[in-house]
């Protein structure tokens, strides 16, 4: 049983379906929409498991888990957008490299 159960209301479901039919969105956004549609628990039916969704959409189970978690916890907008990388480390120049760069 999945910890994060996705239940789409009609006002949430309609933009997902529109996004899937227009095809004018980023690939990651479309993937997240397809994951939400597959993971939805509706009318007493069970949603697909993370393994089933990952196999059907050719993605990883951790991606499925992250999208479910983002939909249930932070909210609707977080499930659509990709997270920006944080903690990026830039290379530091040592003294000899800095001198060569300035020369």
- pLDDT over 70 at 80, yes or no: no
Sketch the domain layout of the chain as residue ranges: 10-80
State pLDDT tens for residues 32-69.
888 888 887 777 677 788 899 899 989 999 888 888 88
Q: Is residue 87 very low, low, confident or very high in pLDDT (cuts 50, 70, 90)?
A: confident
Residue with structure tokens 């991606």?
63
Averaged pLDDT, 10-20: 77
Residues whose CB falls within 8 Å of the CB of residue 50, separated by 6 or more in sequence, listed in order: 2, 61, 64, 65, 68
Closest by Cα among 54, 77, 52, 78 to 64: 54
- 4: exposed, middle or buried (Cβ count in 10 Å: 0-12, 13-18, 19+): middle
d(CA 45, CA 29): 25
- Residue 1's pLDDT is 46
């Amino acid at each position: 049983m999945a910890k994060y159960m996705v239940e789409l209301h009609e006002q949430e479901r309609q933009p997902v379906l529109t996004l899937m039919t227009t095809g004018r969105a980023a690939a990651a956004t479309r993937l997240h929409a397809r994951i939400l549609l597959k993971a939805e628990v509706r009318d007493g039916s069970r949603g697909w498991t993370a393994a089933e969704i990952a196999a059907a959409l050719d993605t990883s189970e951790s991606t499925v888990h992250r999208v479910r978690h983002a939909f249930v916890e932070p909210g609707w907008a977080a499930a659509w957008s990709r997270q920006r990388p944080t903690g990026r480390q830039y290379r530091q120049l040592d003294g000899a490299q800095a001198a060569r760069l300035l020369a």
